[in-house]
């Protein structure tokens, strides 16, 4: 399959598909972290018409995530960026590609475009981590969990290794926190390649 992984600089999904024998390419405004020759640094929209069999897109969640939308009422410029981000998502979803998966955390895509087809957790795919992730799918089956990682219990509440005892993410404020949190978990990337690569 020819696979386009849009808005990915880590190469994790691209590499999972390439390891499975597919002609997979990533594209992002940022350079790839692994200096791969199979990465295009630029606007993913310029690649949508190049006859891909599968598109997997990770649009930036900065102006989409529910956790930050409360700022929009105080900042009209930020609200306008949310509208731009939603239009970007619509363009990706309507790309001329037979099979599409779009991934994002809990966001206004659900209320402004449509509900996700599936919500997954990394701990369902062999990762000791919790991060609710929504998938919008076109002509793709829902991912089947591969390996459940049990949590530790703190006062009877489940917590995984990326969480503090109170449930917050362990990554403290920093300039690259967004980058660290936006990487696809390896277990999820592998499941995508193994299950969606069967087409």
Complete DSSP assignment for 28-68: ESSPPTT--TTEEES-GGGGTTS--SEEEE----TTTBGGG
Answer yes or no: is pLDDT of 77 > 90: no
Ramachandran quadrant class, 188 (left: phi over 0; alpha: psi -120 to 50; beta: rest): alpha
pLDDT, tens digit (0-9, with 9 covering 90-100), for 99-135: 999 999 999 999 999 999 999 999 999 999 999 999 9
Q: What is the pLDDT confidence band of residue 4, given thresholds at 50, 70 and 90?
A: very high
Answer yes or no: is pLDDT of 177 > 60: no
**Residue 74 in 3-state DSSP?**
coil
For β-strands 118-120 and 152-154, DSSP reports them as unpaired
> End-to-end distance of the chain based on CA atoms, in angstroms?
8
Question: Taking the model in full, what pTM does it have?
Answer: 0.91
Question: Residues of 73-102 as b/e, b for ≥16 C-beta within 10 angstroms?
Answer: eeeeeeeeebeebbebbeebbebebebbbb
Considering only 14-28, 73-87, 112-126, 141-155, which range has the smallest mean pLDDT?
A: 73-87
Where exactly are the structural domains of the chain? 2-196
Domain 2-196 superfamily per CATH: Vaccinia Virus protein VP39 (3.40.50.150)
Q: What is the pLDDT confidence band of residue 176, given thresholds at 50, 70 and 90?
A: low
pLDDT, tens digit (0-9, with 9 covering 90-100), for 23-62: 999 999 999 999 999 999 999 999 999 999 999 999 998 8
d(CA 162, CA 123): 11
Q: What is the pLDDT confidence band of residue 180, given thresholds at 50, 70 and 90?
A: low
Other C-beta atoms lying within 10 Å of the C-beta of residue 67? 11
Quick one: pLDDT at residue 74? Answer: 81
Other C-beta atoms lying within 10 Å of the C-beta of residue 123? 23
Contact 51, 31 (CB under 8 A): no
d(CA 147, CA 156): 22
């Amino acid at each position: 399959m020819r696979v386009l992984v849009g808005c990915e600089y880590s190469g994790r999904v691209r590499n999972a598909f390439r390891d499975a024998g597919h002609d997979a390419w990533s594209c992002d405004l940022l350079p790839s972290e692994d200096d791969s020759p199979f990465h295009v640094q630029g606007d993913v929209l310029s690649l949508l018409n190049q006859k891909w069999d599968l598109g997997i897109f990770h649009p930036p969640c900065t102006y989409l995530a529910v956790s930050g939308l409360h700022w929009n009422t105080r900042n009209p410029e930020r609200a306008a960026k949310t509208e731009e981000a939603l239009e970007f998502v619509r363009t990706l979803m309507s790309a001329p590609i037979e099979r599409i998966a779009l991934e994002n955390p809990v966001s206004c895509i659900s209320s402004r475009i449509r509900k996700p087809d599936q919500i997954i957790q990394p701990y369902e795919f062999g990762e000791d981590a919790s991060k609710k992730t929504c998938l919008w799918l076109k002509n793709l089956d829902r991912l089947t969990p591969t390996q459940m990682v049990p949590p530790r219990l703190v006062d009877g509440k489940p917590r995984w290794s990326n969480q503090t005892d109170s449930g917050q993410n362990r990554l403290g404020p920093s300039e690259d926190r967004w980058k660290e949190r936006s990487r696809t978990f390896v277990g999820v990337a592998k499941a995508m390649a193994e299950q969606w690569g069967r087409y």
